[in-house]
Amino acid sequence: MFTRIFGKPKQETNALATLDKLNETLEMLEKKEKVLLKKAAAEVEKAKECTRAKNKRAAIQCLKRKRLYEQQVEQLGNFQLRIHDQMIMLEGAKATTETVDALRTGASAMKAMHKATNIDDVDKTMDEINEQTENMKQIQEALSAPIGAAADFDEDELEAELEELEGAELEEQLLQPATTAPAAPVQVPAGKQPVRPAAHKNTDEEDELAALQAEMAL
């Protein structure tokens, strides 16, 4: 575990402080490099003046000092390169540390959640849900059950009565006379007379009915 200072791990705080220090050093080296480059340029100008004045010895001394300044500039460049390399490594280590810390925090949170919801609690909760669901079904069935006079009706008797009604309806349909379509007119060839049907002989009932109608007409 990291020691936290103002909400941040101590190691992360140290890394940030180190990066700030490296940045300050880098800025200082860059400033020195600029100063040395200006001094080297100034020695070149002095060497030119000494050359024009035919003072060869002084001109050579100016060039020597220029070389010394250039060597220091090169050395400062190496220092800057090392600092840049150190900063890159430190930033990478900082990112790695932050990633590990984030993963550790996630693992701790996951462990806490698993501890808060173990399998026994889940099973108990599911049993309670199933029990409440069964109770609700029983309540709904009780509310939908018939009460009063409707509760005394026998379902078997009602079904038997319905079957009798269906059988009577079917029998009535079978007893109804079938309707016959009118006979199509017979086409008689020209020159031939249609054969008339034989005279229908009246039955006794028809004769009695005709006599009764005649008496009523009188």
Mean pLDDT of the 140-167 span: 73
Q: 8 by DSSP, 3-state: which?
A: strand
Distance CA 133, CA 140 (A): 11
Considering 2-11, 17-26, 114-123, the range whose residues carry the highest mean pLDDT is 17-26
Quick one: pLDDT at residue 184?
53
pTM (two decimals): 0.44
Residue 2 in this model has a pLDDT that exceeds 50: no
Residue 7 in this model has a pLDDT that exceeds 50: no
Quick one: pLDDT at residue 46?
92
Confidence at 159, pLDDT banded by 50, 70, 90? confident
Residue 146 in this model has a pLDDT that exceeds 90: no
Polymer length of the chain: 218
As a dihedral over the C-alpha atoms of residue 148, residue 149, residue 150, residue 154, rounded to 10 degrees, the angle is 130
Quick one: pLDDT at residue 8?
53
- Helices 56-116 and 10-52, packing angle to 10 deg: 170
pLDDT above 90: percentage of residues in the chain = 32
> Which H/E stretch holds residue 76?
helix 56-116
Output 155 or 217, whichever has higher pLDDT.
155
Output 117 or 80, whichever has higher pLDDT.
80
Tokens, residue 94: 């900082």
Residue 3 in this model has a pLDDT that exceeds 50: no
Output 16 or 144, whichever has higher pLDDT.
16
Mean pLDDT of the 178-203 span: 52
- Straight-line distance from the first to the last Cα atom of the chain, in angstroms, rounded to the nearest whole number: 134
Output 156 or 128, whichever has higher pLDDT.
128
CB 64 within 8 A of CB 114: no
Distance CA 24, CA 80 (A): 11
Distance CA 2, CA 102 (A): 12
Mean pLDDT of the 83-107 span: 89
Sign, CA torsion 180/182/183/184:
negative
Question: At residue 177, what is the residue type?
Answer: P
Confidence at 6, pLDDT banded by 50, 70, 90? very low
Phi, psi (degrees; rounded to nearest 5) at 5: -125, 120
Quick one: pLDDT at residue 217?
59
Q: 193 by DSSP, 3-state: which?
A: coil
- Strands 4-5 and 8-9, how do they pair? antiparallel
